[in-house]
A = this chain, B = another copy of it.
Amino acid sequence: MDKIKISEDFKAIQDHICKELEIEDGKGKFKEDKWERPEGGGGRTRILQNGNIIEKGGVAFSAVEGPTPEKILNKLQLEKADFFATGVSIVLHPESPMVPIIHMNIRYFEMSTGVKWFGGGIDLTPHYVDLDDARYFHQQVKATCDRFHGDYYPKFKKWADDYFFIKHRNETRGIGGIFFDRLVSNDPVEMENIFEFVKAIGFLFPKIYRHFMGKNKNMVYGEREKKWQALRRGRYVEFNLVWDAGTKFGLDTNGRTESILMSMPPMANWEYMNQPEKGSNEANTLEYLKKDIDWATI
């Protein structure tokens, strides 16, 4: 694999996604911060705040390299060597509680010792679970997975259920999606295929999210829904700060804090012992925050 080619393709995906989101939003514009990592490499963090539809969203690209930090070596049980890592990371928090929160990440990692792999994922966190939306999301993701390998969707869907899980709440972050890591092959053709798959997820992202932006942006909501949204954002914070390996790792290894925490929502709320009324939309949503739901056929 040519790491320069990979990072250039990832950059192009970042460009494409930002353009698509700006078109659909109709008002918000991404602002870019270019940053450099003292030990090598850097990134382009792009943030959109106070758009028509997106209240706070980040679409970040980075390509960093240098001596592998001690913590990464220990965690991955690798011998001392240089590393290179590039990726695109996205979290979007919409203004409307009727539009879901979304997250997408694609990444490539290699070491001077020859170790290399792709990773990534896309998952949806609706403030209110809507079965049609959930089915659409999973069918889209499944169709893209299926173009590359029949095992991908079932395997990566289960991985997402396990990964995007808020253990201390015994609930999933949202309706899941896919998550995968250390995807690699000794066969160069197959490795190329994995790269194409990862890029396909990158290009699928704006298609899916524009669909939800367009479809749900005019749905009516009031104070009750805004309150619920703030509580669900609180849960999003809990997942990202307590359980998300990527976030913990970035903060642990002196990553660029403002880029790592671009996933944090605007206006999140915590209420003690909030329990939605039985049969309410809020209570129904909680019923669906479970693993092992076959969303693609629900």
A272–B241 touching, CB < 8 Å? no
Question: How many residues of chain A get a CB closer than 8 Å to chain B's CBs?
Answer: 32
Residues of B within 8 A of A262 (CB): 272
A267 to B268, CA, bound (A): 5
Shortest C-beta distance, A3 to chain B (Å), equals 28
Listed stretches A15-23, A193-201, A230-238; interface member: A230-238
Does A208 make an interface contact (CB < 8 A)? no
B237–A241 touching, CB < 8 Å? yes
Instruction: Given the known inter-chain contacts A230-B267, A242-B248, please indicate yes or no for A272 contacting B237, CB distance below 8 A.
Output: no
Does A74 make an interface contact (CB < 8 A)? no
A271 to B265, CA, bound (A): 8
Identical copies in the complex: 2
Instruction: Given the known inter-chain contacts A237-B237, A267-B269, A270-B265, please indicate yes or no for A257 contacting B169, CB distance below 8 A.
Output: yes
**Residue among A261, A265, A268, A272 with most chain B CB within 10 A:** A272
Does A47 make an interface contact (CB < 8 A)? yes
**Residue among A56, A238, A268, A271 with most chain B CB within 10 A:** A268
Contact mask for chain A residues 164-206; partner B; CB cutoff 8 A; 1 contact, 0 none = 0001110000000000000000000000000000000000000
A interface vs B, CB < 8 Å? 33, 47, 49, 56, 58, 167-169, 230, 234, 237-238, 241-242, 248, 251, 254, 257-258, 260-262, 264-273
